[in-house]
A and B are shown apart, each in its own frame.
Chain A
Amino acid sequence: MQKIEQLIKEKARDLLAAGQVTRVIAWQKGEMSYDNAPAYFGSPEKLDALVYDAFCASNLSKYLIANTKKDEKTAVFLKPCDTYSLNQLIKDRRVKREQVLVIGIPCAGMVDINKVKAQGVKGIIGITEDGDDLTVETAYGTKQVPRAEVLLKKCLACKGSAYAVSDETIGEPQAVKHAPYDRFADVKKLESLSPQERFAFWQEELSKCIRCNACRDICPACSCEQCIFDNPDSPLAGKSNSNSAEEQLFHIIRAYHVAGRCTDCGECSRVCPQGIRLDLLNRKFIKDINEFYGDYQAGADADTNAPLLSFDVEDVEPGAATKGRE
C-alpha cells in the first residue's frame, strides 16, 4: 500500500506541476490514524499530507459534480468500486467526462474501524499494515487484527479489480481477501419473513434515523440540485423526525429514487451514524431489477440505458413484484 501511495503522490505532483489539472482529489491524513479525509490538493507543496492506506473508504466521485460548473480539469484517484459511481454520474449528465482525469488505483479492501473497536480495541494511538494483518497500537497495549476480519461490509461484496472507467491506472490490481459472501443473503432472509414481520423490522430499523441526511449527501446517485425533501413549500419538515407522515418513508422514497442508478458502493450504510441497514433496501431493489430485467450493474459502462429508464416489449408485467403480499 505504501508503494501505491508513493506512486499516487508522484503522479499527482507531475500533474499539478505540469498544469495538466487545476486540482487533484485524493485523501489526506486525519487526527487519528484511521480518519483519513477526502481532500482537494491544488499545488504540489500540499501533497505531503496525501495518504492512501487501509482507511480510504470515501467514494470521491461525487465531488466532481461541483467541478462541472467550472471550466477546469480535475484529476481524481478512484478505487475500482468508485469508478462505477463516476460512470453513473457521467451517464446522469452530472459530470462532464472531458473535465475529469480518472486514475484507477488498486484496492485490497478498506478497514472498518468500528469492527476493529468491536473486538474490544480502545484508545488507538496508531495503526500499521503488516501484510494481511493490522498492528493496532493502543494506550492499553498492542493488538494484531487480521484484515479479513475487519473489512468494511461493502468490501465483502467487492465488484472486482477492473475499473469501469479510467484514463490511467497505477500499480497492479489487488484482490480483497475474505470468506465467501452473498450480498443478497440478508435480503433473502427478509424476503422469507411474513409481511407483518418485515413491516415490524423496518419500523424498528428506520426509527433509529435522526434525519441527519448523511446518507443522501454522500450518495453519488443522489445529485438533485434541490432535493425533494428540502422543499420549503412542503408542510413536512424532515428534520422534525416525527414518526407520523412522510418522515418514516424518507429512506424508502430515496431508495426508489436511486433504484437502477445505485451502484452498490456501500457509502450510505458506512456513514450512517446510527448504523441503519440501508444496504438491505438498496440491495433488495438491485435483486429485483436483476430478476425482472436480467443482471444489471449500474455504472458498469457509460452508455447502456438503465432498465427502469428504458422500455422493452419483453419487460416484466406490472404486478410481478407481488412477493410478500399474499
Chain B
Amino acid sequence: MLKIEKKRWPELFGRLAAIGKLYAPVSEDNKTDFALWQEGTEVDLKTTITAKSLKNIFFPQIENLLDFERQGQKLSLEQRQLPAEKTIAFGVRACDLASFNLLDKVFLKEPVDHFYQARRENCTLIGLACSEPEETCFCRTFGIEPTAPAADVAAWLVGDDLFWRPETTKGEELTAAIEDLFTEAPDGAEIVAEQQAQVQALLDKMPLAGFALSDEECNKQAEIFESEVWGELSKTCLGCGTCTYVCPTCHCYDIRDYEVNDKVERYRCWDSCMFSDFTNMAGGNPRTTRLARFRQRYMHKLVYFPANNEGAYACVGCGRCLQKCPVSLNIVKVAKALGVTKNV
C-alpha cells in the first residue's frame, strides 16, 4: 500500500493532468460535480456523491457520429474520428464504478459501440472509497462494496493521507509513472481496514440499511406489470426526466440530424423513457400515459435488465434519484410499493 499526504495532492493532480485529461470532483455554489482539472482547481474529496453521475465521460450527453454533405441527389458521409485522448477520472465512488460495468453490458455487447469503447479504453479510473456515506446510499443492496472501489487504482482518504493501491495493469502503469510522489505505508492495510469497519457500522445505522431486493419476486414479470400499485405511484410523477439524467445506469439515447443548408450532422444524445414522445411512431404510441412510461422505467431497472443480464439490476444504489426527484419518487419507494423487497 502506498500513501501520499495532503500537501502533495496538488502536485499529484498536476502530474496526473500531464498524463491525461484529468476529471475530478469540484465543488461550486454548494454543488459538486466532476469537472476538468486545471492548475489551481480545488478538488472536493469530502462530498460523497456528485450531483450528476459520471456516465458523461463514456456516454456523453451529445456525441457527433458523422457528417453528411448533400449535392443535388448525391450524398457523401464521413464518420467522426473516434475519441482518442487519454483521460483520467479521479475520486470515482464505488457506485459509479459499478455503473460502468452495467453500461458495459449494453454498449460493449455485440455489436460494440465503438465511441463508448474508445472512451472506456482510454480512461484510467482512480476510485475513492467512501468514508462518510449518506443516508441516501444503498450500494450494498447490489453487492457493491463502498469501501473497496473496483477501479484501476483504489484510494482511501484517512485523515490527511490518501492511501493508494493499483488494482489493474493500467493502474500499475499509471502508478509507476508517478511513484516518486508516494511513500510506502506498511500499516496502510490496517488503517484502511479500520476505516472500512467504521463505514460499515455507519451504514448499518442508516434508514436504507435493510433495503434488499428479492430476485425471486423481481422475476415475476407479468405479475409486476399488472400490479395495481402503478396507478398510485405514477400519479404525482411529473414525467420530467430528471431521474433518468442523473442516474448513472440510464442509457436511453436518440439519434438525430442537425442540418445547416447542405451539411448535416448526425448525432447521438441522451433521451428519456419518461418523455411523452419516446415511443411515438407514425403508426401510434404504445405508451401514451404517464403510468405506462413510469412503469416502463422501473420494469426495465428491476425486471427486464436483470432478465437479459444474468440477474444484474440496473441500479447501483447511488441515491441520486432520492436526492433529485422534484416530488420525492424513487426506486426504493417503488420497490417497496411493488412488494419486491425482502427482509435481510
Residues of A bordering B, CB below 8 Å = 30-33, 35-40, 58, 63, 114, 118, 122-125, 138-140, 210-214, 216-218, 230, 232, 235-237, 239-242, 245, 267, 270-271, 273-275
The CA of A270 and the CA of B323, in the complex, are separated in Å by 12
CB of B283, distance to nearest CB on chain A (Å): 14
B62: which of A35, A122, A213, A240 is its contact (CB, 8 Å)? Answer: A240
A-B contact count (CB 8 A): 139
Does B235 contact A212, Cβ atoms closer than 8 Å?
no
Say yes or no for B30: interface residue by CB 8 A criterion: yes
B51: which of A37, A118, A242, A274 is its contact (CB, 8 Å)? Answer: A274
The 10 closest A-B pairs by CB, nearest first: A37-B328, A271-B326, A240-B269, A217-B238, A217-B240, A212-B242, A139-B205, A273-B324, A35-B328, A214-B240
Interface centre among A35, A37, A63 (most CB of B within 10 A): A35
* Contact-residue size bin, chain B (C-beta under 8 Å from the other chain): 35 or more
The CA of A211 and the CA of B61, in the complex, are separated in Å by 10
Does A232 contact B277, Cβ atoms closer than 8 Å?
yes
Does A214 contact B48, Cβ atoms closer than 8 Å?
no
CB of A90, distance to nearest CB on chain B (Å): 21
Of B100-108, B118-126, B127-135, B155-163, the stretch lying at the interface with chain A is: B127-135
The CA of A241 and the CA of B269, in the complex, are separated in Å by 8
Does B48 contact A122, Cβ atoms closer than 8 Å?
yes
CB of B170, distance to nearest CB on chain A (Å): 30
Query: Could you tell me which residues of chain B, from 242 to 294, have a CB within 8 Å of some CB in chain A?
Result: 242, 245-246, 254, 256-259, 267, 269-272, 275-277, 280
Say yes or no for B318: interface residue by CB 8 A criterion: no
Say yes or no for B136: interface residue by CB 8 A criterion: yes
The CA of A240 and the CA of B266, in the complex, are separated in Å by 12
Does B236 contact A274, Cβ atoms closer than 8 Å?
no
Does A123 contact B236, Cβ atoms closer than 8 Å?
no
The CA of A237 and the CA of B259, in the complex, are separated in Å by 12
CB-CB < 8 A to A35: which residues of B? 322, 328
Does A235 contact B202, Cβ atoms closer than 8 Å?
no
CB-CB < 8 A to A39: which residues of B? 236
Say yes or no for B207: interface residue by CB 8 A criterion: yes
Does A230 contact B277, Cβ atoms closer than 8 Å?
yes
CB-CB < 8 A to A31: which residues of B? 207-208, 322, 330, 332-333
Does A36 contact B52, Cβ atoms closer than 8 Å?
no
Does B136 contact A230, Cβ atoms closer than 8 Å?
no
Does B61 contact A240, Cβ atoms closer than 8 Å?
yes
CB of A117, distance to nearest CB on chain B (Å): 8
CB-CB < 8 A to B332: which residues of A? 31
CB-CB < 8 A to A241: which residues of B? 61-62, 269-270
The CA of A210 and the CA of B136, in the complex, are separated in Å by 22
Say yes or no for B66: interface residue by CB 8 A criterion: no
Does B272 contact A239, Cβ atoms closer than 8 Å?
yes
Q: A123-B134, A217-B326, A235-B259 are in contact. Are A274 and B31 (CB under 8 A)?
A: yes
Does B232 contact A235, Cβ atoms closer than 8 Å?
no
**11 A–B contact pairs at CB < 8 A?**
A33-B207, A35-B322, A37-B329, A123-B132, A139-B205, A210-B245, A212-B246, A230-B276, A240-B270, A241-B270, A275-B30
Say yes or no for B311: interface residue by CB 8 A criterion: no
